[in-house]
Amino acid sequence: MQGHKALRKGRFSQEYNIYHVTVVTCQRQHIFSSFGTASTLAKILNSPSVLKTSSISAWVIMPDHWHAIVQVGRYDSLSKVVGRIKAISTRVIHNERLWEGDIWSKAFHDRALRSESELLPLARYIVANPIRAGLAQKAGNYPFWNAVWV
């Protein structure tokens, strides 16, 4: 991915701040079109042992990327949270022989939310992603999303 070093350069996340995160698969491959790989990632995104002191309030898994609203916890950083999710999902998916080869692009995109008023509209945007992509007619028909408000 061209420019990924620039994405990481100067990246700073603060404890308790909330971020919109987008993580893309390697070469935009549709790795998560498979029920097995997508359900494995879903379990990891919901796992307190992976998130540690951080939390995810909404997420969606698309065939070639995932979005999440992440609140960075105490003694944690956004890079560490995303790194744990990528490392653990790669290990589990490879161990279960659900995919061979690279899974994730090296970088990820993030944007800090400036106010709580951004949370609900962003969660709606995230959950509606499969509808906009033509993968489902309504959110309830798509299995790979979650939001604390529902």
Answer whether residue 147 is part of any domain.
no
Q: What is the pLDDT of residue 3?
A: 45
Alpha helices by DSSP H, the chain: 4-8, 35-45, 48-51, 78-95, 119-127, 129-132
Number of domains in the chain: 1
DSSP secondary structure letter of residue 25: B
Answer whether residue 125 is part of any domain.
yes
Supply the CATH number for residue 76's domain.
3.30.70.1290
Answer whether residue 2 is part of any domain.
no
Answer whether residue 122 is part of any domain.
yes
Q: What angle do CA 108, 82, 32 make, to 5 degrees?
A: 75
Q: What is the pTM of this model?
A: 0.91
Q: Which domain holds residue 38?
A: 14-137
Does 8 score more than 90 pLDDT? no
Please give the backbone phi and psi of residue 110, each rounded to the nearest 5 degrees, phi first.
-145, 155
Answer whether residue 9 is part of any domain.
no
- CB atoms under 10 Å from CB of 122, counted, come to 18
Q: What is the mean pLDDT of residues 135-142?
A: 96
Answer whether residue 114 is part of any domain.
yes
Q: What is the mean pLDDT of residues 23-34?
A: 98
